[in-house]
């Protein structure tokens, strides 16, 4: 395990690699995704340095209701959450930690708090980890660079004390049913009885509202550039020959899977080869590569999924306008 340089003294900010870049590429799992119908590119390939910045840009679009809905819930309820959780807060997919600052500030006002942001984008992780202690006096930050699974395994081996795992951005929905069950089990295995799991989930709403949130409004291009960058990054990692000018990004609501499905539609008949995987994908014009799912939940079904992993609902707060939920679970 190697440490990357920090812009602050080691006792304030330590950005620690829990997995080198090669270990992100579970090739058997990646090929399995490409063999799905339609073929799928794992979502984490959207978050190289360029993709992380594009995601920040697209999240500011007025049609992207998820960000203001989540900010609003955290602004109103961060103190209530902070009253319930302990001194160590780990966040899956921390990104810029813009929203998490609200919670961390409330926690630090109550007790000395250690924040453990987890992200695959090292540049974004280093920037946010360096900035936070200057913004929240007394906060200790230790960044964990790598995929969720590697970071959770690290926390199990180096347990910091009473722990809260945070998963914001409704990212719990960016998974298949099997992937979500495995990740919830992994989080549960990392926590001890009485520890907490704070997660946001986007609840069901009309399909036209959902499609508007996941596609560019007139004059904007951030959503499209983010999706095409994911394909470009994936192609670069696996020595592929996919050309982004032969794909058209569009997200569609699919009620059968209760998800907004992100498609990269092929504009012509083509075979895309990924030499690093020894795998090729044949596409006809109009076929798609899927770049991600954004599952929308019924509230009872979501709570039941968490319960199946060993979580008991402590408290919930739901935005009445956007039907967006903040859920605090306790490890049973």
Biggest distance spanned by C-alpha atoms of the chain = 60
For residue 39, count other CB atoms closer than 10 A to its CB: 19
Q: List the single range of 18-27, 59-68, 176-185 with lowest mean pLDDT.
A: 18-27
| Residues 130-178 pLDDT 10s | 899 999 999 999 898 888 888 898 899 889 899 999 999 999 999 989 9
Q: Tell me, which fold does domain 3-24+58-205+298-331 have in CATH? A: Rossmann fold (3.40.50)
User: Mean pLDDT in the chain?
Assistant: 90
Phi, psi of 83 (to 5 degrees): -65, -20
| pLDDT surpasses 70 at 3 | no
| pLDDT surpasses 60 at 198 | yes
- The pLDDT-based confidence of 22 (bands split at 50, 70, 90) is very low
Cβ 145 vs Cβ 106: under 8 Å: no
- The pLDDT-based confidence of 19 (bands split at 50, 70, 90) is very low
pLDDT of residue 4: 36
For residues 14 and 326, the model is more confident at 326
Cβ 234 vs Cβ 41: under 8 Å: yes
| pLDDT surpasses 60 at 325 | yes
Share of the chain above pLDDT 70, in %: 92
| Residues 55-67 pLDDT 10s | 999 999 999 999 9
pLDDT of residue 313: 98
| pLDDT surpasses 80 at 15 | no
- The pLDDT-based confidence of 25 (bands split at 50, 70, 90) is low
Question: pTM to 2 decimals?
Answer: 0.89
Burial annotation 102-128 (CB, 10 A radius, 16+ → b, else e): bbbbbbbeeeebbbbbbbbbbebbbbb
pLDDT of residue 277: 94
Torsion of Cα atoms, 212 then 261 then 149 then 5, to 10°: -50
| Residues 91-140 pLDDT 10s | 999 988 989 999 999 999 999 999 999 988 888 888 888 899 999 999 99
| pLDDT surpasses 80 at 2 | no
Structure tokens that stand for 13 in this block: 């900010």
pLDDT of residue 95: 86
| pLDDT surpasses 50 at 14 | no
Averaged pLDDT for residues 237-253:
97
| Residues 301-315 pLDDT 10s | 999 999 999 999 999
pLDDT of residue 125: 85
Averaged pLDDT for residues 238-265:
97
- The pLDDT-based confidence of 253 (bands split at 50, 70, 90) is very high
| pLDDT surpasses 60 at 11 | no
pLDDT of residue 27: 85
């Amino acid at each position: 395990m190697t440490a990357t340089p920090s812009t602050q003294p080691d006792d304030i900010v330590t950005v620690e690699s829990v997995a080198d870049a090669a270990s992100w590429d579970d090739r058997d799992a990646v090929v399995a995704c490409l063999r799905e119908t339609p073929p799928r590119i794992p979502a984490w390939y959207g978050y190289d340095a360029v993709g992380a910045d594009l995601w920040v840009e697209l999240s500011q679009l007025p049609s992207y209701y998820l960000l203001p809905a989540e900010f609003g819930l955290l602004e109103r309820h961060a103190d209530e959450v902070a009253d319930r959780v302990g001194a160590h807060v780990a966040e899956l997919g921390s990104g810029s930690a813009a929203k998490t600052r609200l919670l961390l500030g409330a926690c630090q006002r109550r007790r000395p708090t250690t924040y453990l942001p987890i992200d695959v984008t090292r540049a974004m992780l280093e920037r946010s980890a360096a900035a936070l202690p200057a913004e929240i006096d007394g906060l200790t930050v230790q960044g964990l660079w790598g995929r969720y699974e590697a970071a959770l395994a690290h926390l199990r081996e180096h347990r910091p004390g009473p722990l809260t795992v945070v998963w914001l951005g409704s990212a719990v929905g960016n998974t298949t049913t099997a992937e979500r069950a495995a990740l919830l089990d992994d989080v549960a295995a990392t926590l001890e009885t009485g520890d907490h799991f704070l997660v946001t989930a986007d609840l069901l709403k009309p399909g036209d509202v959902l499609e508007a949130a996941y596609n560019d409004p007139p004059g904007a291009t951030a959503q499209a550039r983010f999706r095409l960058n994911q394909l470009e990054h994936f192609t670069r990692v696996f020595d592929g020959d996919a050309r982004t000018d032969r794909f058209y990004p569009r997200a569609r609501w699919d009620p059968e899977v209760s998800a907004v499905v992100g498609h990269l539609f092929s504009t012509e008949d083509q075979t895309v080869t990924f030499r690093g995987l020894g795998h090729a994908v044949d596409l006809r014009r109009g076929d798609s590569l899927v770049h991600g799912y954004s599952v929308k939940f019924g509230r009872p079904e979501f709570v039941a999924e968490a319960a199946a992993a060993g979580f008991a609902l402590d408290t919930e707060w739901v935005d009445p306008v956007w039907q967006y939920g903040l859920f605090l679970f306790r490890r049973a």
